[in-house]
Structure 1
Amino acid sequence: MHGYSRRLFLRLGGAAVAGGLIPTAGAAHAADFALLRRRWQDVTAGAGFDPAVEPYRTRLMRLGRTAAGYRDTMAPAGTSLWPGLVFPSFAENTVRLQAMARAYALPGTGLTGDASLGAAVATGLDHYRRQVYAAGARPAGNWWPWQIGVPKRLLDVALLIGPHLTDRQSRALSEAVDHFVPAWRLADYSGNSTGANRVDLCTVTLLRAILRADPDKAALAVSALSPVFPYVTEGDGFYRDGSFIQHTSVPYQGGYGAVMLSGLATLFAVLRGTPWEITAPNIFDMVERSFAPFVHDGFCMDLVSGRGIGRDPYGDHKRGRMIASAILLLGDAAPAAARTRWQGLVKGWAVRDTVKPMLDEADHLGFHARLAAVLDDDAIPAAPEPAGHRLLPMSARAVHRGPGWCAGLSMASSRIGHYEHGNGENTRGWHTGSGMLYWWAKGHGDQYSDSFWPTVDPYRLPGTTVSTKRLADGAGGGWGDTCPPGRWVGGATDGTYAAVGQHLNGFESTMEAFKSWFFLDDAVVCLGAGITGRDGVPVETIVDNRRTGALLTLDQKAGWAHLAGHGGYVFHGLLRTSRESRTAGSVTRSYVTLWLDHGVDPDAAGYVYSLLPGATPAKTRARATDPAWLRVLVNTARQQGVQVPSLGLTAVNFWNAGAAGGLTASAPCAVLVRERGDGTATVTVSDPRRDLSELTVTWDRPVSRVLRGHPLLVGATTGAKLTLRWGRLSDRGGSSKTITVRLG
């Protein structure tokens, strides 16, 4: 069969499937299931490339050699499949079988359609099924391999080798899958059967349906997806603000979310044009609302990746490629306008990822082919980085993009955990929710990628305020069950600037703090107040902890510091610094740390500093010596606010009702005002605590009229000052509401 063309091979494979392995489908669905098999192969193994052209030729021949080695060394025995390989293994054994099956199914491997290879895969698959994954076996350990990981891979293998799996073997595998993933597993949308897990379980059910040409199972797989698509207001799933939550309290676009997006893109592609085609348009909205904000220059930010952040070096770039691949695949099912935007979006990411060039690192042949086509198409412009602010209050996350830089903020709240650990992963991520401020300027795409997590001091994560009390590895509940009591977490944004705040309760600590970040064009102004603690240890605010060996210039008297090639810092008080090399295993990385020491058991301590990403020493010095640029209006445990006259900006986080900077609020809220040069102004408010039935905000500034209101604005009084009466904000998820006024 070495001389068969891809088209002929698929035609023969389809005929064999239709004639030999669809005993229950009947004529009505035989063609449908033959199409599903072909579609599945195209999506999972790869399609759309010329196997004689590089790099496909080399990759395919390498796959063939690897598969041949696996075939020649496989020796099924009672306690092994390959001599010396751990057995039973949920990963390596099935991965080898999958590589062999792909070498059989793909063109150009030198083993395409090879009967001996197909037979060897069938033998190995059935042996693994009998010895490990047999109907009636008792699942040991974590549930995931038994219900998702193993069956998904085994069924993929079975579909790829087609007629080489006998009816008896096919039936036995189906019975095993039915044992571990019974139909009732999809009846209740709760526990481990939500979000990305539900999509995976439905994928397993669909593959089981394709294997035995079972239309009822196919219908079940698709119908059981229905709870995944609606927006949620609590628990796992997508929120209207773009948040995606898994494990109840963990923002997870970069982990489970990416898996879910990839799984849905696959199902859309496989089922398109069949009786089980999926229609769920809101998933198209989530591409740009939920995923794109957290992808920067090709990598997915760690602040939405849960316990997986330290899993692999450059894992953030791997997650970015996974999201990009899913978006391009999903584009085939999306409206034309969305598909065009997404192609430009992914092209922009790929062009800007110089750390791990996306095309070079694209290991899936289908993704490589799609991405290469987009990059080669001059009619598709690469989308630039979007400017402005995205605040996702329901997941306590914020992303800000200014000219040439980007920042991400992760917080914890009464509904979002400080961190997630589980399966032995991320056991020292305790303080990632304590206001960690990630930032990237030009050329910093590997700042948190290159062994940052195993080597960084976990008590000194940038942006955080922490008690230095020592903590045990894996302290607190697992799987994100580490939510503090603080409810005021979120803020107000007009889409360009933002006032973000966190009422921080230290992790397993008596420490408490009120932290605010004001995101501007070229700076993040950071305020802290009401910092108290009774742990008997120092409390610190980490201005930054940069993985670099760059030169640090410090002018303590003038209140500024500059890190060469990175950016500048303007501060008040004594800034402490250190330079160290930290080692984990065989890896050593250099760090420069800047922090403010609040002392042992502080009482109402505070801080003010500004981060200037990408700034030169001259710009940093100039900002530090310009008292007119920034006015700190108030910095207490009741309110925190700033005024930036050059931007016409006044912003206040009201932890309690009160007044500051000409703004008065009747209840806890966030307010951001921008006066524009055309005689108008915008007023933005939000209810971060999500508990206000009414709110009155007054701005002591002459206003002639309201130009653009909002449905929740129930009353407005203009004249010598502006008074705004807002209705029920509590059920709006902490989102920002903006009105426009004409100044008097």
Structure 2
Amino acid sequence: MRGHPRRVLLRFGALGAAGALGALFPAPPAHAPDTSFVALRRRWLAVTAATPFDPAAEPYRTGLARLGAQAAGYRDTMAPADGWLWPDQAFPSFVATPARLRAMARAHVLPGTGLTGDAALATAVATGIDHYRARVYSADAEQVGNWWHWRIGVPRALLDAALLIGPHLTARQRAGLRDAVDRFVPESVLGSYTGTSTAANRVDLCTVMLLRAMLDDDHGRAALAAAALAPVFPLVSAGDGFYRDGSFIQHTTIPYQGAYGVTLLTGLATLFAVLRGSPWPVADQRVFDAVERSFAPFVHDGFVMDLVRGRSIARQAFGDHRRGRELAAAILQLAESASATTRSRWRAMVKGWAVRDTAQPMLPAAERSDLAFHARLAAILDDEAIPAAAEPTGHRLMTMSARAVHRRPGWCAALSMASHRVGHYEYGNGENLRGWHTGSGMLYWWAEGHGDHYSDAFWATADPYRLPGTTVSTLRLPDGAGGSWGDTCPPGRWVGGATDGEYATAGQHLNGLESTLEAFKTWVFLDDAVICLGAGITAGDGVPVETIVDNRRTTAPLTVERGWAHLAGHGGYVLPGGPALRTLRAARTAGTVTRDYVTLWLDHGADPQGAGYVYLLMPGATRAATRARAADPGWMRVLANTAGRQGVRVPALGLTAVNFWQEGTAGPLGASAPCAVLVRERGDGTATVTVADPRRALDGLTVTWDRPVRRVLRGHRLLADAGTGARLTLTFGGMADDEGASHTVTVRL
């Protein structure tokens, strides 16, 4: 059958194309079709292979024709042999060969490819599936290499292709594929929520199980696929999954919203849509909260920040923007299962991302990679009733994943740390061999117009010992140092801080990766600056220790004066007391790619004992603003900068911030145990005192502030006692169980 409807229109989750697809592809099994599975297969086709656009309109006509030409090329060059299906893809070819078969199957089902409904193409796909199954993915094959290919990658692609070609897969071919999938993806993989069957992997495994159920009208497996999603939704306090503060962890120790998290959300969005109206709908909607709590904080102008992308930062240039598009596509699809209010808010958010992503514009990129997403995004961009949501302002501190994001008008910064529960970095499958120091206090920042700063070959060419914001021993490390799969957690427990949602003090008790380095690092995030403090910097590796003030991929002019420096078009740096700032301008090459860098750093010398630093980062600041800040010694007062306490006072903001590494006092603040304290005096005669226990170890904590206080206006559920008068005394209880969260008390001065 070659004919197809001229126009297939599916608007945001409607099933207008389901009937046409069902006509082309009725029920695959040879036995009497189960009506629930007939509907489910049509739903799968409608959600994953239908076209929410007019296939005769551009750019869709060209894109579909391109897919058809690609599929025809695969069909014409297929040459089955014992060692391959295509001569240029020798077996096992876990990725390329199944992907080609699925592309051919999509060309068979999608309109406008020139091969729509082509029986010969569908037969070629069936032949290819069976050939690959018999020689690579057979029920008696020996599993080699990465488990993921056998349980997720290969069966997902083969089953999807099989469903797309429908009855063109013979009963024998279907049985062979069924038996192979059952061997490598038995029901037992969904029996316990552990190991490689958690979070994003669990969603992928459930998808494979559902596809397997659709292949053979298996009610038991369909019910299992839906039910086994249940452990994904509840918040966790350890291991893989979503946390109360918005953190998302995969591989036990790695923040992963920007890779595995995107996979999870994409899979759930698909399953919500496919299973809606079936006997096995997904009822738990707690993941909807994660869109704005866990994912959106790490999207800036359309790209996903690298500090939540794990080892995938090393894969390709502009991978952060690609992940941003994938996340946006997942959110728009998930929106169809959300309330009208939520759907409107998410569409405005995605529209804002697309409008602001000028480094790699989202709509043209979607045209090249995902026509369905392109159509949905184009409709939103063209709809004047949907506003483009602005970049938010404020601070998000996620102690459970040792991450922080700070947004102010015109700039954004993000902080990546490591702790006893969060690895320095992840290395695995030969990827990210030199990401050693990304958890050593790396401070990312973007001023306006710099959305591609870490995208354009940064990870391939940047000096891995000189990542911005980090303090590192220059001891040379082997590739993959510290162990694979995120097994790089240091012993430090004090990692986190306190935030009132606008400003923040964050800190890290740093232990170097495979070195003797120890340091105490504090960052205070404000309106136009990040105050950076370091203390107790000690090491005995026999090599210099450095703090990297910045490492910018640029050829911009650099001005260095005593006490300050300015990088044109980027921002400024203020160094109170005028410590010697080292600088280097160099081109760095990786393979055929060369990028220019300007590096600024502080040299603490070999084997320092208790070294320290103070500097201000001013993203987007002009040269004049930087010079003026350096000339104003009263703008900031350092209250303490030792291995016991680090703190500052900024009078103009009424702000006092102290990280207490040990009990004691710093300026007007005192604490009975290690904690973080942020005080804001406001112009209306009130003040807020925000307290946190980053170590998550305190049953009780007393904080004092030498400031006359009349009364407590708003307490907190953990506030056990408060004393006012000549000084404020606040006593908190039960903080150990609150996952490092910030607790704010409001007082009348």
**Which interval holds the TM-score relative to the shorter structure?**
over 0.9
What does residue 607 of structure 1 align with? Answer: 613
Choose which of 497, 514, 527 in structure 2 pairs with 1:491. Answer: 497
| In structure 1, distance between residues paired with 2:676 and 2:18 | 60
Which amino acid in structure 2 is aligned with residue 494 of structure 1? D
- How far did residue 45 of structure 1 move? 2.8
What are the residue-to-residue correspondences of 1:405-424 with 2, within 5 Å?
A: 405-424=411-430
| 2:624 maps to which of 618, 621, 633 | 618
Measured at CA, do residues 9 and 346 of structure 1 come closer, stay the same or move farther in structure 2, by a change above 3 Å?
closer
For residues 283-338 of structure 1, what are the alpha-carbon distances to aligned partners after superposition, in whole Å with 9 as ceiling and x for unaligned? 01100000000000111001001111010110000111111111111001111111
Residues 548-570 of structure 1 deviation map (CA, whole Å, 9 limit, x = unaligned): 11100110x2x110001100000
Aligned counterpart in structure 1 of residue 43 of structure 2, from 39, 42, 45: 39
Shift in Å, 1:238: 0.4
Partner of 1:170: 174
Say if 2:27 is the partner of 1:23.
no
Q: 2 CA distance for matches of 1:9 and 1:284?
A: 26
Partner of 1:219: 223
Deviations for 1:448-503, whole angstroms, at most 9, x for unmatched residues? Answer: 00000010000000000000000000111110000000000000000000000000
Match of 1:398 in 2: 404
| Residue number in structure 1 paired with 2:580 | 574
- The percentage of aligned residue pairs carrying the same residue is 70
- 1:626-677 deviations in Å (ceiling 9; x for gaps): 1111111110000000111111100000000011121110000000000111
Q: How does 1:135-214 map to 2 (within 5 A)?
A: 135-214=139-218
> What is the CA distance between 1:718 and its match in structure 2?
1.0
Q: Deviations over 1:685-715 (max 9, x none)?
A: 0000100000001111111111111110011
| Distance in structure 2 (CA, Å) of the matches to 1:170 and 1:471 | 51
The aligned residue for residue 477 of structure 1 is: 483
Q: Secondary structure at the match of 2:629?
A: helix
Deviates further, 3-12 or 728-737: 3-12
| Gapped regions of structure 1 (runs ≥ 5) | none
The equivalent position to 1:511 in structure 2, one of 517, 525, 549, is 517
For residues 279 and 619 of structure 2, what CA distance do their matches in structure 1 show?
Answer: 53
Distance 1:619 1:22, change over 3 A: farther
Q: Once superposed, what is the RMSD of the aligned Cα atoms?
A: 1.3
Greater alpha carbon shift after TM alignment, 596-605 vs 66-75: 66-75
Question: In the TM superposition, what whole-angstrom CA distance separates every residue of 1:136-180 from its partner, at most 9, and x where no partner exists?
Answer: 211111100000000000011011111111122112211111100
Q: Is the 8 A contact 2:247 2:294 kept in 1?
A: yes
Aligned to 2:653: 647
SS in 1 for 2:676: strand
Could you say which residue in structure 2 is the equivalent of 1:14?
22
Residues 9 and 641 (structure 1 numbering): CA distance in 2 closer, same or farther, change over 3 Å?
closer
C-alpha distance in 1 between matches for 2:483 and 2:743: 35
For 1:529, the aligned partner's letter is A
Residue 638 of structure 1, aligned match among 640, 644, 668: 644
In 1, distance between residues paired with 2:492 and 2:56? 60
Query: What residue identity is the alignment partner of 1:636?
Result: T
Q: Please state how far the C-alpha of 1:264 moved relative to its aligned partner.
A: 0.7
Q: How many residues align?
A: 737
How far, CA to CA, are the matches of 2:220 and 2:522 in structure 1? Answer: 54
Q: 2:296 aligns with which of 288, 292, 297?
A: 292
Tell me, yes or no, if structure 1 residue 664 matches structure 2 residue 678: no
- Pick from 678, 703, 719 the counterpart of residue 725 of structure 2: 719
Whether the 8 Å contact between 1:698 and 1:721 is mirrored in structure 2 is yes
1:2 Cα offset (Å): 3.1
* 1:103 paired residue number: 107
Work out the CA distance in 2 between the residues paired with 1:711 and 1:295: 32
Residue type matched to 1:84 in 2?
A: D
- Counterpart secondary structure, 1:254: coil
Aligned to 1:315: 319
User: What are the superposed Cα offsets for residues 51-102 of structure 1, whole Å, 9 maximum, x if unpaired?
Assistant: 0111101000011111111111112122221223322201111111111111
Q: TM-score, normalised by structure 2?
A: 0.97
Q: Match for residue 587 of structure 1? A: 593
Equivalent residue for 2:236? 232
- What letter matches 1:4 in structure 2? H
Q: Which residue pairs with 2:4 in the alignment?
A: 4
State the 1:12 CA deviation. Answer: 6.3
Structure 2 match to 1:72: 76
What is the DSSP-based 3-state SS (H/G/I as helix, E as strand, rest coil) of the residue aligned with 1:333? Answer: coil
Change (3 A) 1:20 1:328: closer
- C-alpha separation between the residues in 2 aligned to 1:451 and 1:228? 34
- On the 8 A contact 1:22/1:212 being kept in 2, the answer is no
- Name the aligned partner's letter for residue 290 of structure 2: M
Contact 1:397 1:408 in 2 (8 A): yes
SS at match of 2:482: coil
**Structure 1 residue 278 and structure 2 residue 299: aligned?**
no
Provide the rounded CA distance (Å) in 1 between the counterparts of 2:519 and 2:640: 15
Q: Is the 8 A contact 1:25 1:215 kept in 2?
A: no
Q: Distance in 1 between matches of 2:32 and 2:511?
A: 60
| CA distance, structure 2, for counterparts of residue 38 and residue 109 of structure 1 | 20
Aligned residues of 1:16 and 1:163 also touching (Cα < 8 A): no
Q: For residues 674 and 353 of structure 2, what CA distance do their matches in structure 1 show?
A: 39
> Is the alpha carbon distance of 1:46 and 1:609 closer, same or farther for their aligned partners in structure 2, counting shifts above 3 Å?
farther
- In 1, Cα distance between equivalents of 2:231 and 2:250: 14
Alignment partner of 1:580: what SS?
strand
Shift of 1:34: 2.2
